[in-house]
């Protein structure tokens, strides 16, 4: 498992070196060996920090139970994440088709975005009951706002000239959306996915701390209460492993469908320039007669 | 090569040459009491099949004029008549070239050019053949399957011109299309473009700040004043085509450039 983890971790390096596996597995293995060496040579008690070998053994022994909890967390966080992406996309598309909706919702979104939604977990458990629904809801709330902002930036990420050219071809809003905005948004979708994966798993686990009888969060809480350090770390490792696995899956997808150097620009409010304001004003106004 | 343009029955060509009349056109920015005039009022006429070049110092509203004609800006006053009828923006039988190629980075050269055909709903095969011939005309054959980031320098602008011509528009609008090109690439491009235009003779309007380019391409050159741009003079260029920067033609072109410079000197644009 350590090697697999290393593989997932090496995602960003892969892109640069262009090899499929990269040096990830080697690095992960050496890290594990270093950990093993340190824990043993410093005589750290397992109740404080178990050695990597002890941890791997624990994961192996508890595998069926761990997998059960992992699947509960994965279901909740993926559900929340997918819903957040879909809702974020609907919001972003709405800002393209209606300037008015954009003007009204913009400030609201930017305020709501700043709420630390994770602290709402106890309340959501009260509202939505025990188990997966509150976990999915926390994941959704934590993912939605970054996704909305990112996808909106993506749908608005082309230079004015591109839109003017499309205009000269007689393209209507729907055609511009299909042919220009949507493809331009793809790199932003992959960023939103990468961000959502880690955020949604964290959110779901936090909700499980509060009220659940299954899931990685529940397991960590339960083991922690019994001072079972190895159990906590085993659950945590599985959470990290799932996030890294999904992350590397996204990187793979990214490499398969983005063939151009994507120029990512993030700005909180990227509106399409107003039609009544000449796009060249900046250039022309610098030279007064 | 001369088979490039004459429209066969199936070719997506209207073959028309639009006559454009601009009357008292002006454009000011801002609303209410505080408006800043950027252009005009200007009045001029472009005959069907004429090449009109517009030169002016930065801030003279060349780009504004072109955007008004392209319908991306709405005039504050005055009218634009196309073939005698008032122009309402969704009249879009034109090709547009801007100073940046504005190619879509995820599309190959051919796909970028064919965007024009896709959006207009033209026959793809006909347009693909036309696009190939246009690319060959500009010496860009072999770049069909490259994406913009894989193109040699200067090629993007040629592709952008091909995209503007692939549907054989009856009006060509160009906003400083050669501004970013290196001078040798520029010279080659101007030559290819002029020979192509001689074949099509579509009505064309070119904005530029390069006098030589304006004289080389234009049947007439409109000279704009500094902001707000008004017409100082319209100079007819009586030189045979194709015009080239060769030994006999260069001095004649320089003469015209100097004539235009005198108007700019009178305005203090040039020393």
Distance from CA of A273 to the nearest CA of B (A): 11
- Residue A233's domain comprises 70-262
The per-residue pLDDT for B166 is: 92
pLDDT per residue as tens digits for the range B37-71: 888 788 999 988 899 999 988 888 888 899 888 88
pLDDT per residue as tens digits for the range B92-106: 678 999 989 999 999
pLDDT at A232 over 80: yes
> How confident is the model over A20-40, as a mean pLDDT?
82
> How confident is the model over A171-187, as a mean pLDDT?
92
Phi, psi angle pair for B69, to nearest 5°: -70, -35
Between B5 and B263, name the one with better pLDDT: B263
Q: How confident is the model at residue A6 (pLDDT cuts 50, 70, 90)?
A: very low
pLDDT per residue as tens digits for the range B213-253: 999 999 999 999 888 888 888 988 888 888 888 888 888 98
Q: Following CA atoms A205, A208, A213, A219 in sequence, which dihedral angle do they give, to the nearest 10 degrees?
A: 40
Percent of chain B with pLDDT over 70: 92
Percent of chain B with pLDDT over 90: 30
The per-residue pLDDT for B125 is: 92
Domain count, chain A: 1
The per-residue pLDDT for A45 is: 85
pLDDT per residue as tens digits for the range A57-67: 988 988 898 89
Q: In terms of CA atoms, which chain A residue is nearest residue B58?
A: A284
> How confident is the model over A91-110, as a mean pLDDT?
90
Q: In this structure, is residue A229 part of a structural domain?
A: yes
Contacts 24+ apart (CB under 8 A), B148-153: B148/A260, B148/B101, B148/B103, B148/B104, B148/B105, B148/B107, B148/B109, B148/B112, B149/A260, B149/A261, B149/B105, B151/B109, B153/B182, B153/B185
Q: In this structure, is residue A187 part of a structural domain?
A: yes
**CATH at residue A140:** 1.10.3720.10
> How confident is the model over B83-95, as a mean pLDDT?
73
Percent of chain A with pLDDT over 90: 35
Cβ–Cβ under 8 Å, residues B79 and B24: yes
Tell whether A166 lies on the interface with B, counting CB pairs under 8 A: yes
The per-residue pLDDT for A130 is: 83
Q: How confident is the model at residue B32 (pLDDT cuts 50, 70, 90)?
A: low
Round the average pLDDT of chain B to a whole number and report it. Answer: 85
Contact state of B70 with A168 under an 8 Å Cβ cutoff: yes
Contact state of A259 with B147 under an 8 Å Cβ cutoff: yes
The per-residue pLDDT for B114 is: 94
pLDDT per residue as tens digits for the range B133-176: 999 999 898 898 999 999 988 889 999 999 999 988 888 999 99
Q: In terms of CA atoms, which chain B residue is nearest residue A159?
A: B102
Q: In terms of CA atoms, which chain A residue is nearest residue B226?
A: A289
A278 contacts on B by Cβ (under 8 Å): 29, 38, 63-64, 67, 73
pLDDT at A139 over 90: yes
Nearest CB partner across the interface for A162, out of B94, B104, B226: B104
Q: In this structure, is residue A113 part of a structural domain?
A: yes
pLDDT at B110 over 90: yes
Contact state of A168 with B38 under an 8 Å Cβ cutoff: no
pLDDT at A158 over 80: yes
Contact state of B70 with A261 under an 8 Å Cβ cutoff: no
Q: How many CB atoms lie within 10 A of CB B149?
A: 12
Cβ–Cβ under 8 Å, residues B5 and B201: no
Window from A225-229, A242-246, A275-279 with minimum mean pLDDT: A275-279
| A154-167 CB burial, b ≥16 within 10 A, e <16 | bbbbbebbbbbbbb
The per-residue pLDDT for B222 is: 92
Q: In this structure, is residue A33 part of a structural domain?
A: no
Tell whether A273 lies on the interface with B, counting CB pairs under 8 A: no
Between B72 and A275, name the one with better pLDDT: B72
Cβ–Cβ under 8 Å, residues A155 and A96: yes
Q: In this structure, is residue A91 part of a structural domain?
A: yes
Q: In this structure, is residue A19 part of a structural domain?
A: no
Q: How confident is the model at residue A262 (pLDDT cuts 50, 70, 90)?
A: confident
Q: In this structure, is residue A135 part of a structural domain?
A: yes
Contact state of A281 with B29 under an 8 Å Cβ cutoff: yes
The per-residue pLDDT for A270 is: 39
Nearest CB partner across the interface for A170, out of B92, B160, B163: B92
Q: In this structure, is residue A257 part of a structural domain?
A: yes
Contact state of B115 with A280 under an 8 Å Cβ cutoff: no
Q: What is the C-alpha separation between A67 and B22, in angstroms, rounded?
A: 74
Round the average pLDDT of chain A to a whole number and report it. Answer: 81
Contact state of B102 with A164 under an 8 Å Cβ cutoff: yes
């Amino acid at each position: 498992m350590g090697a697999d983890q290393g593989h997932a971790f090496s995602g960003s390096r892969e892109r640069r070196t262009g090899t499929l596996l990269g040096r990830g597995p080697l690095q992960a293995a050496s890290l594990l060996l270093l950990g093993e060496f340190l824990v043993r040579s410093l005589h750290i008690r397992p109740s404080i920090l178990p050695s990597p070998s002890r941890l791997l053994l624990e994961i192996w022994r508890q595998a069926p139970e761990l997998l059960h909890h992992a699947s509960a967390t994965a279901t909740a966080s993926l559900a929340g994440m997918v819903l957040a992406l879909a809702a974020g996309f609907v919001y972003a598309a709405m800002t393209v088709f209606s300037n008015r909706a954009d003007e009204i919702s913009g400030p609201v979104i930017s305020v709501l975005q700043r709420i630390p939604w994770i602290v709402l977990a106890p309340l959501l458990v009260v509202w939505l009951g025990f188990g997966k629904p509150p976990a999915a809801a926390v994941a959704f709330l934590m993912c939605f706002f970054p996704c909305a902002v990112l996808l909106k930036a993506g749908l608005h990420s082309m230079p004015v000239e591109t839109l003017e050219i499309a205009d000269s071809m007689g393209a209507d809003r729907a055609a511009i959306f299909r042919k220009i905005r949507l493809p331009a948004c793809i790199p932003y979708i992959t960023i939103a996915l990468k961000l959502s994966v880690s955020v949604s798993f964290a959110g779901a686990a936090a909700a499980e701390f509060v009220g659940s009888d299954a899931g990685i969060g529940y397991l960590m809480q339960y083991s922690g209460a019994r001072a079972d350090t190895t159990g906590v770390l085993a659950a945590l490792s599985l959470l990290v492993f799932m996030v890294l696995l999904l992350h590397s899956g996204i990187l793979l997808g990214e490499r398969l469908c983005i063939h151009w150097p994507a120029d990512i620009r993030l700005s909180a409010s990227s509106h399409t320039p107003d039609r009544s304001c000449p796009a060249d004003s900046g250039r022309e106004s610098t030279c007064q007669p | 090569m001369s088979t490039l343009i004459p429209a066969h029955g199936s070719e997506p060509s209207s073959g028309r040459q639009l006559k454009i009349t601009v009357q008292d056109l002006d454009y000011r920015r801002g609303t209410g009491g505080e408006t800043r005039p950027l252009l005009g009022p200007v009045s001029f006429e472009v005959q069907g099949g004429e090449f009109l070049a517009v030169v002016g110092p930065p801030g003279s509203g060349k780009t504004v004029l072109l955007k008004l004609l392209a319908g991306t800006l709405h005039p504050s006053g005055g009218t634009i008549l196309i073939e005698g009828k008032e122009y309402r923006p969704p009249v879009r039988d034109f090709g547009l070239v801007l100073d940046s190629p504005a190619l879509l980075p995820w599309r190959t050269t051919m796909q970028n050019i064919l965007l024009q055909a896709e959006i207009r709903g033209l026959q793809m095969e006909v347009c693909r053949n036309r696009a190939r011939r246009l690319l060959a005309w500009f010496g860009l054959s072999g770049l069909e399957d490259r994406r913009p980031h894989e193109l040699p320098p200067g090629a993007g602008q040629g592709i952008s011109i091909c995209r503007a011509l692939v549907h054989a528009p009856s009006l060509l609008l160009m906003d400083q299309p050669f501004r970013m090109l290196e001078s040798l690439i520029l010279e080659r491009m101007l030559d290819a473009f002029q020979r192509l235009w001689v074949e099509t003779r579509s009505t064309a309007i070119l904005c530029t700040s390069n006098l030589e380019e304006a004289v080389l391409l234009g049947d007439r050159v409109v000279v704009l004043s500094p902001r707000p741009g008004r017409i100082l003079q319209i100079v007819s260029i009586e030189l045979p085509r194709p015009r080239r920067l060769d030994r006999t033609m260069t001095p004649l072109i320089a003469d015209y450039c100097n004539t235009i410079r005198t108007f700019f000197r009178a305005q203090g644009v040039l020393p």
